[in-house]
Amino acid sequence: MLLIDHENTNRGVVDTRDAVAIAKEAGLDLVVVSEGKDTPVAKILDYGKHQYQQKKRQKQSAKPSMKEVKLRPNVDDADYGIRINRATEWLGKGNHVKFQVRLRGREHQHRDRARELLDRIVEDLKQVGKVQSLDTKSLIVQLVPES
C-alpha cells in the first residue's frame, strides 16, 4: 500500500505490517483513504479528529446561506420579475433571502414607495417563503423557506 505519514510526506509503497508499526510508533491510526485498483492509499492520522472534521464540514455545507438582493424603489417590472424568480429558486433550495431597498437623495422623501415595494415582495413570495424579519425603518425584509 502507498503510505502517507502524519507529516503528509509520501513514504511510497510500504508493506501493511510496516505501516501499522509506523502508525503505532507515532501513536496514531492507519486509515485507508482510497482503495485504488493497483495500490490502496493509506494515511497515518488521528481517526477521531478526522471524523470530527468531516462531520463539521458536512454541517457547514448543510447550513443554509443568506442570499442578498438589493433594489431601488423605482425598479422596472422586468428586473423585479428576475429578482423574484431568483429568490424563488433560492428559497426552493433552502437558502434564506434578504431584500434591501436602497434610497438615494430625493428618494428619501418617498419612503412609502419603498415600503410598498417590500410589501409587494412579501406578497409575491408568500407561497415559497415566510417572513423572518421585516424592518421598515432600514427597509429590509428577510425571508426563510416555507416549512
Residues 14-43 have pLDDT tens digits of 998 999 999 999 999 999 888 877 889 999
The per-residue pLDDT for range 79-111, each reduced to its tens digit, is: 999 999 999 999 998 899 999 999 999 988 989
Q: Angle at Cα 146 formed by Cα 122 and Cα 120, nearest 5°?
A: 10
Strand partners, 142: 98, 133
Of all residues in the chain, the percent with pLDDT exceeding 90 is 64
The pLDDT of residue 87 is 95
The per-residue pLDDT for range 51-79, each reduced to its tens digit, is: 999 898 888 777 778 999 999 999 999 99
Which domains does the chain carry?
2-61 (3.10.20.80), 64-145 (3.30.110.10)
The pLDDT of residue 58 is 85
Q: What is the pTM of this model?
A: 0.59
